[in-house]
Amino acid sequence: MNNTVWKARVNVSARPGNSDLGDAGGAYTNVLVAAADMPELEERIRAHFLDMGYDVLEVDEPLRFESCLATGEYAAWMPDAALRVAASGELAWDTMYRYPIGDDGDA
């Protein structure tokens, strides 16, 4: 298992049969994931959210978490979660921010 932890913004839409997002067009969330490189990062994120009933529309702004620590660009929950992700290989993510149908989730 690779211990390089990455932070990325992930944009998802609910798959048929998944009503978690209600009538929203989709949602985005911040994710921490351990991966060796960008292809593995995207593969692990897509597999995780597919298992939860979501299609990943975009993996945006992937950064090594160590660089986020250096610049201060991270949420309060992330440092502790990054340690757990590095040790366990599990993904960590926070609140899903929903957006309306017809929007693409860009802030």
Percent over 70 (pLDDT), the chain: 93
pLDDT given for residue 3 in this prediction: 75
pLDDT given for residue 94 in this prediction: 94
User: What mean pLDDT do residues 39-58 have?
Assistant: 97
Distance CA 34, CA 88 (A): 9
Q: Which pTM value belongs to this model? A: 0.89
pLDDT given for residue 1 in this prediction: 57
Distance CA 56, CA 22 (A): 17
Distance CA 13, CA 102 (A): 12
Q: How do the domains of the chain map onto residue ranges?
A: 5-99
The answer to whether residue 107 scores a pLDDT higher than 60 is: no
Q: How confident is the model over 65-91, as pLDDT tens digits?
A: 999 999 999 999 999 999 999 999 999
CA atoms within 13 A on the CB side of 76: 0
